[in-house]
Amino acid sequence: MRWLVKNDFFGGKVCIVNTVHDAIYLDVHLDVLDEVCAGIKRIMEELPEYFNSAHGYDLQVPFPAAVEFGASMFQKIHWHPGVLDEVDEVQEDGKVKECARTKLANHWNELNGVAA
Protein backbone atom coordinates (compact mmCIF):
# COMPACT_ATOMS: atom_id res chain seq x y z
CA MET A 1 0.00 0.00 0.00
CA ARG A 2 2.80 2.41 0.91
CA TRP A 3 4.45 1.78 -2.47
CA LEU A 4 1.21 2.70 -4.26
CA VAL A 5 0.80 5.85 -2.16
CA LYS A 6 4.46 6.78 -2.76
CA ASN A 7 3.84 6.41 -6.50
CA ASP A 8 0.59 8.43 -6.34
CA PHE A 9 -1.34 5.34 -7.43
CA PHE A 10 0.43 5.77 -10.78
CA GLY A 11 -1.41 8.96 -11.56
CA GLY A 12 -4.75 7.50 -10.54
CA LYS A 13 -4.34 4.48 -12.81
CA VAL A 14 -4.38 2.05 -9.86
CA CYS A 15 -7.23 1.56 -7.42
CA ILE A 16 -7.23 -0.85 -4.49
CA VAL A 17 -10.30 -3.05 -4.71
CA ASN A 18 -9.78 -5.40 -1.76
CA THR A 19 -7.26 -7.30 0.33
CA VAL A 20 -7.86 -10.85 1.54
CA HIS A 21 -5.33 -12.70 3.70
CA ASP A 22 -2.17 -12.71 1.54
CA ALA A 23 -3.76 -11.28 -1.61
CA ILE A 24 -4.36 -7.78 -2.89
CA TYR A 25 -6.88 -7.03 -5.62
CA LEU A 26 -6.26 -3.96 -7.74
CA ASP A 27 -7.93 -2.25 -10.67
CA VAL A 28 -4.97 -1.33 -12.88
CA HIS A 29 -4.91 0.53 -16.20
CA LEU A 30 -3.17 -1.37 -19.00
CA ASP A 31 -0.61 1.45 -19.39
CA VAL A 32 0.93 0.63 -15.99
CA LEU A 33 0.02 -3.05 -15.62
CA ASP A 34 3.53 -4.45 -16.14
CA GLU A 35 5.13 -1.97 -13.75
CA VAL A 36 2.50 -2.51 -11.05
CA CYS A 37 2.52 -6.31 -11.35
CA ALA A 38 6.33 -6.42 -11.19
CA GLY A 39 6.37 -4.10 -8.18
CA ILE A 40 3.69 -5.98 -6.24
CA LYS A 41 5.39 -9.33 -6.95
CA ARG A 42 8.77 -7.97 -5.80
CA ILE A 43 7.32 -6.49 -2.61
CA MET A 44 5.48 -9.68 -1.69
CA GLU A 45 8.53 -11.86 -2.35
CA GLU A 46 10.75 -9.58 -0.25
CA LEU A 47 8.61 -10.19 2.84
CA PRO A 48 11.26 -12.36 4.62
CA GLU A 49 13.98 -9.73 4.05
CA TYR A 50 11.68 -7.00 5.39
CA PHE A 51 10.85 -8.91 8.57
CA ASN A 52 14.50 -9.87 9.05
CA SER A 53 15.71 -6.27 8.84
CA ALA A 54 12.75 -4.44 10.42
CA HIS A 55 11.93 -6.85 13.23
CA GLY A 56 15.09 -8.88 13.80
CA TYR A 57 13.61 -12.15 12.57
CA ASP A 58 15.68 -14.84 10.91
CA LEU A 59 13.29 -16.02 8.21
CA GLN A 60 15.04 -18.31 5.75
CA VAL A 61 11.92 -19.49 3.96
CA PRO A 62 11.33 -18.31 0.38
CA PHE A 63 8.06 -16.46 -0.16
CA PRO A 64 7.10 -16.96 -3.83
CA ALA A 65 4.26 -14.81 -5.10
CA ALA A 66 2.06 -15.32 -8.13
CA VAL A 67 0.50 -12.40 -9.95
CA GLU A 68 -2.59 -12.76 -12.10
CA PHE A 69 -4.54 -10.26 -14.18
CA GLY A 70 -7.59 -10.22 -16.34
CA ALA A 71 -10.70 -8.38 -17.37
CA SER A 72 -12.45 -9.81 -14.29
CA MET A 73 -11.69 -12.05 -11.32
CA PHE A 74 -13.25 -14.86 -13.34
CA GLN A 75 -10.98 -14.35 -16.37
CA LYS A 76 -7.45 -14.29 -14.96
CA ILE A 77 -4.14 -15.37 -16.46
CA HIS A 78 -0.73 -15.54 -14.84
CA TRP A 79 1.35 -12.39 -15.29
CA HIS A 80 4.99 -12.35 -16.31
CA PRO A 81 7.01 -9.57 -17.99
CA GLY A 82 5.85 -9.09 -21.57
CA VAL A 83 2.73 -11.25 -21.29
CA LEU A 84 0.52 -8.44 -22.60
CA ASP A 85 2.21 -8.53 -25.97
CA GLU A 86 2.52 -12.27 -26.37
CA VAL A 87 0.55 -13.91 -29.11
CA ASP A 88 -2.50 -15.81 -27.91
CA GLU A 89 -3.62 -17.05 -31.29
CA VAL A 90 -2.17 -17.21 -34.77
CA GLN A 91 -4.48 -17.56 -37.73
CA GLU A 92 -3.86 -20.14 -40.46
CA ASP A 93 -2.28 -17.45 -42.67
CA GLY A 94 0.29 -16.77 -39.91
CA LYS A 95 -1.15 -13.42 -38.85
CA VAL A 96 -1.62 -12.64 -35.18
CA LYS A 97 -5.28 -12.81 -34.19
CA GLU A 98 -5.07 -11.24 -30.73
CA CYS A 99 -2.66 -10.71 -27.88
CA ALA A 100 -3.63 -10.30 -24.22
CA ARG A 101 -3.38 -6.50 -24.44
CA THR A 102 -5.88 -6.40 -27.32
CA LYS A 103 -8.23 -8.87 -25.66
CA LEU A 104 -8.32 -6.89 -22.43
CA ALA A 105 -8.79 -3.57 -24.21
CA ASN A 106 -11.61 -5.00 -26.32
CA HIS A 107 -13.29 -6.54 -23.26
CA TRP A 108 -13.04 -3.26 -21.33
CA ASN A 109 -14.48 -1.34 -24.30
CA GLU A 110 -17.32 -3.84 -24.58
CA LEU A 111 -18.15 -3.55 -20.86
CA ASN A 112 -18.11 0.23 -21.01
CA GLY A 113 -20.01 0.64 -24.25
CA VAL A 114 -17.07 2.11 -26.16
CA ALA A 115 -17.09 1.51 -29.90
CA ALA A 116 -14.00 -0.28 -31.23
Enumerate the domain spans of the chain: 2-79
pLDDT digits (tens, 9 = 90+) for 14-24: 999 999 988 99
Residue 115: per-residue pLDDT:
66
Residue 33: per-residue pLDDT:
92
- pLDDT above 90 for 97: no
Euclidean distance between CA atoms 70 and 103, whole angstroms: 9
Mean pLDDT computed over 57-70: 91
- pLDDT above 80 for 111: no
Does the global pTM surpass 0.75? yes
